[in-house]
A and B are shown apart, each in its own frame.
Chain A
Amino acid sequence: MADEITIIRPVRVGLWREFKELLRYRELGYFLVWRDLKIRYKQTVLGIGWALLQPFLQMVVFSIFFGKLVKIPSDGVPYPVFVYAGLLPWTFFANAVNACNYAVINNAGLIRKIYFPRLLIPLSALGTGLIDFLLAFLMLLAIMIFYQMPLTIGLLWLIPLTAILFLTGLGVGALLAAAAVAYRDIRHLVPFLVQLWFFITPVIYPATIVAPRWRFLLNLNPMAGIVTELRAIILHKPIDFAGLYLAGAIGLLFCICGVWFFNRKAREFADII
């Protein structure tokens, strides 16, 4: 019967043990994602259809304002496809960060009363976003077919890129989630921060309009690399591997720092929330 031993000490457990705990509690992670999706679309007529419709409507609005009226260049591809390919990773990132911002506080009732690896909270917030991302990706395929763009094996590059995107989102999300518990001011700062981040990321404009000598600065933002390369893959442009590796490295760094900070703070969530 004593197959499971719990040891309680004042010291923090290592990251490796934390990771094993996460694996053990993965079923709860699925449940939290399932709960969030279920609640979100309960009592709506379109249900999960909203996950398809929202990015589509966003694309229409952006195409009209920035493509038709402002006439932002789009590297020679139809602006709707161009902007949608940018919005796809950006929306995932923005939603993840905004969701993490409130995730810990929204789950305060659970945190105060039961134990589970606290990292499941930002992880499940990202998991919910990943489902939306996949649905929005289906919409992208539909749009590509509409514009008669070829669907090739090269699209498989999207898988590692999505992993980088996920890690970056997790890092930033976890960092802000923990910070928002300790300092409530953060909560009001985050939406503004995300908006600012949107403009320094080449979502509605191509990275090529930034002068080459400033390009390096732009690439310090991992989202810039992710958005640019994701768009390159979709539009069959050559992939800039240097940019991809840089985005991967910065994303991983964000992830490690964010998770480290989160775990450091998470032990005391129940006391300070």
Chain B
Amino acid sequence: MSDMNVITTDRLGKKYRRDKLAGPDNFREALVKFIKSPWQLFKPGRRTAGLPADRDLWAIREVDLQVKAGEILGIIGKNGAGKSTLLKVLSRVTPASQGSAVIRGRITSLLEIGIGFHPDLTGRENVFLNAALLGMKRTAVRERFDQIVAFAGIGDFIDTQVKKYSSGMFVRLAFSIAAHLDSEIVFIDEVLAVGDTDFQKKCIVKIQSVANGGRTVLFVSHNLAAIERLCNRCIVFDHGRIVFDGKTGAALDYYRSNILEKVDRQGNLEVERENRPGDGRARFQFLEIRGGKDDRDSCGVYSGGSVTFKIAIKLTAKIAEPRIAIVIKDQSGQVVLRLYTRDSRFYLPDQEHDFRLECRVAELPLTARRYQVDLWLNAGGQTIDYAESAAILTVNPDSGQIADPGYGGIVTVKSAWNYTN
């Protein structure tokens, strides 16, 4: 039984219409169309006929995937690469546009935790409602109710209205329900990004034990450390297609070197990327990281050494007093350092044309490892552009250090030691 495929997809694809993404149909337009030719309404395929193909945006395309029972499959890729869309199609939230998929067993899809939670209902009532929404029978919930409450650790608050909960309690209860579901296949989308660190650890342990119980898990996350810890197999998504499928270690290597660093070598960012947040008045176009002696070396950034970030920004409209931040994150997505113009009391005047900036750190206080660099541009409290993982920053150990396997913390500062005996 165990080598049977529980999930098989065949050229699975999902497309969105670009103009549909903007919002619902125009009622007036539809009414005029209906009056002009009323029978069009009943003809199938009337929408797609005669429209140019580039109106379509393929969120996932030609996905062939086989998942065996008991596998914990990690799914990684940049924002908008198609990871979440795959889970949405497999859990039937949204219809497929092409291909097919066969899934054997009961599915629980945790695209978000605490679905259907109503603030006016008590914790107890919400447990039953949420579990029903996730496909669990009332009798099964009743059986596990005490376990759910115990895991969440909210005690007597279970009969209090959820609106009086702290956000931590809310998240703990929501996850606890999800963790006690009885389905054979579980889809998880980034739900670990919530809650405090202790609870996150508890969640990872719980997911591990769930998976060890023979269940199949599809796990989408940006937290590469969690993926590494949980998954035995991993697929990498890029522009809607699976570009790598194999052992987790190899997949992470592929992801880091072929996808995350692709932008690093050229220095140019993917400006055409669809779903970069922000209002589009300006876009980061270029990020270059230089280190080493006189900051000439593009890949020679050393722990405790100097580093210079060179940024170019392209404008399509005037922006007033922009602020720019370089956000440095570790591999679990935790922000370890933020270099922000405002924090350095560096105030830019209003900008009307493309401009360039440089930010120099004399002694980079980061230990030797890889970091992800995001760029953030805002003005008047509004995000104008956010370029996630604009580059990978590889910090090398300085000459006196040994490469740190991770026991030495994230930051490093010069410290003076004296023998005082």
Partners in one complex: yes
**When chains A and B are docked, how far (Å) is the Cα of A1 from the Cα of B94?**
26
**Is the pair A35, B138 in contact by a Cβ cutoff of 8 Å?**
no
User: A27: which of B112, B116, B132 is its contact (CB, 8 Å)?
Assistant: B132
A-B contact count (CB 8 A): 115
Interface residues of B in 93-131 (CB under 8 A from A): 93-107, 109, 111-112, 115-116, 118, 120-121, 125, 128-129
User: B96: which of A9, A39, A270 is its contact (CB, 8 Å)?
Assistant: A9
Kindly list chain B residues whose C-beta atoms are within 8 Å of the C-beta of A110: 115-116, 133
Kindly list chain B residues whose C-beta atoms are within 8 Å of the C-beta of A43: 120
A10-B96, A28-B133, A113-B111 as given contacts; A182 in contact with B12, CB under 8 Å: no
| B9-36 contact mask (Cβ, 8 Å, vs A): 1 or 0 | 0001000100010011111001000000
Residue of B nearest to A39 (CB): B120
Kindly list chain A residues whose C-beta atoms are within 8 Å of the C-beta of B24: 181-184, 272
**Is the pair A183, B101 in contact by a Cβ cutoff of 8 Å?**
no
**Is the pair A1, B134 in contact by a Cβ cutoff of 8 Å?**
no
Interface residues of A in 217-244 (CB under 8 A from B): none
Interface residues of A in 1-58 (CB under 8 A from B): 1-10, 27-28, 31, 35, 38-39, 42-43
**Is the pair B132, A8 in contact by a Cβ cutoff of 8 Å?**
no
Instruction: Let me know if A214 is at the binding interface, CB within 8 A.
Output: no
Which of B83-91, B341-349, B363-371 binds A?
A: B83-91
**Is the pair A115, B105 in contact by a Cβ cutoff of 8 Å?**
no
**Is the pair B104, A5 in contact by a Cβ cutoff of 8 Å?**
yes
Residue of B nearest to A116 (CB): B133
Instruction: Let me know if B137 is at the binding interface, CB within 8 A.
Output: yes
Q: Closest Cβ of chain B: how far from A139's Cβ, in Å? A: 27
Q: Closest Cβ of chain B: how far from A13's Cβ, in Å? A: 10
Kindly list chain A residues whose C-beta atoms are within 8 Å of the C-beta of B12: 8
Kindly list chain A residues whose C-beta atoms are within 8 Å of the C-beta of B132: 27-28, 31
**When chains A and B are docked, how far (Å) is the Cα of A181 from the Cα of B125?**
29
Kindly list chain A residues whose C-beta atoms are within 8 Å of the C-beta of B27: 183-186
Interface residues of B in 110-169 (CB under 8 A from A): 111-112, 115-116, 118, 120-121, 125, 128-129, 132-135, 137-138
User: B20: which of A1, A28, A111, A271 is its contact (CB, 8 Å)?
Assistant: A271
**Is the pair B121, A2 in contact by a Cβ cutoff of 8 Å?**
no
User: A7: which of B4, B101, B105, B137 is its contact (CB, 8 Å)?
Assistant: B101
Instruction: Let me know if A268 is at the binding interface, CB within 8 A.
Output: yes
| A179-223 contact mask (Cβ, 8 Å, vs B): 1 or 0 | 001111110000000000000000000000000000000000000
Kindly list chain B residues whose C-beta atoms are within 8 Å of the C-beta of A3: 105
Instruction: Let me know if A71 is at the binding interface, CB within 8 A.
Output: no
**Is the pair B92, A272 in contact by a Cβ cutoff of 8 Å?**
no
User: A115: which of B92, B120, B125, B128 is its contact (CB, 8 Å)?
Assistant: B92
Residue of B nearest to A179 (CB): B27
Q: Closest Cβ of chain B: how far from A35's Cβ, in Å? A: 6
Instruction: Let me know if B385 is at the binding interface, CB within 8 A.
Output: no
**Is the pair B103, A42 in contact by a Cβ cutoff of 8 Å?**
no
**When chains A and B are docked, how far (Å) is the Cα of A183 from the Cα of B71?**
43
Instruction: Let me know if B210 is at the binding interface, CB within 8 A.
Output: no
Kindly list chain A residues whose C-beta atoms are within 8 Å of the C-beta of B96: 8-10
| B62-97 contact mask (Cβ, 8 Å, vs A): 1 or 0 | 000000010000000000000000001111111111
**Is the pair B90, A35 in contact by a Cβ cutoff of 8 Å?**
no
**Is the pair B112, A113 in contact by a Cβ cutoff of 8 Å?**
yes
| A260-271 contact mask (Cβ, 8 Å, vs B): 1 or 0 | 000000011011
**When chains A and B are docked, how far (Å) is the Cα of A39 from the Cα of B85?**
33
**When chains A and B are docked, how far (Å) is the Cα of A185 from the Cα of B29?**
12
Instruction: Let me know if A109 is at the binding interface, CB within 8 A.
Output: yes
Interface residues of B in 341-382 (CB under 8 A from A): none
Kindly list chain B residues whose C-beta atoms are within 8 Å of the C-beta of A115: 91-93, 109
**Is the pair B112, A8 in contact by a Cβ cutoff of 8 Å?**
no
User: B116: which of A2, A38, A109, A268 is its contact (CB, 8 Å)?
Assistant: A109
Kindly list chain A residues whose C-beta atoms are within 8 Å of the C-beta of B98: 10
Kindly list chain B residues whose C-beta atoms are within 8 Å of the C-beta of A114: 91, 93, 109, 111, 115, 133-134
Q: Closest Cβ of chain A: how far from B235's Cβ, in Å? A: 18
User: B121: which of A27, A35, A111, A186 is its contact (CB, 8 Å)?
Assistant: A35
**Is the pair A183, B30 in contact by a Cβ cutoff of 8 Å?**
yes
Instruction: Let me know if B6 is at the binding interface, CB within 8 A.
Output: yes
Kindly list chain A residues whose C-beta atoms are within 8 Å of the C-beta of B264: none
Kindly list chain B residues whose C-beta atoms are within 8 Å of the C-beta of A181: 24
User: B125: which of A28, A38, A182 is its contact (CB, 8 Å)?
Assistant: A38
**Is the pair B103, A5 in contact by a Cβ cutoff of 8 Å?**
yes
**When chains A and B are docked, how far (Å) is the Cα of A55 from the Cα of B374?**
60
Instruction: Let me know if B416 is at the binding interface, CB within 8 A.
Output: no
Instruction: Let me know if B288 is at the binding interface, CB within 8 A.
Output: no
Q: Given contact pairs A3-B105, A270-B94, enumerate 18 new A-B contacts (beta carbons under 8 Å).
A: A1-B69, A1-B184, A2-B4, A7-B102, A8-B102, A9-B100, A31-B129, A35-B116, A38-B120, A113-B115, A114-B133, A114-B134, A115-B91, A183-B26, A184-B24, A184-B27, A185-B27, A272-B20
A-B contact pairs, 10 of them (CB 8 A): A4-B104, A5-B103, A6-B103, A10-B98, A28-B132, A43-B120, A183-B24, A184-B24, A184-B27, A271-B94
B residues within 8 Å of A by Cβ?
A: 1, 4, 6, 12, 16, 20, 23-27, 30, 69, 88-107, 109, 111-112, 115-116, 118, 120-121, 125, 128-129, 132-135, 137-138, 184
6 closest Cβ pairs, A-B complex = A2-B104, A183-B27, A115-B92, A8-B101, A185-B27, A6-B103
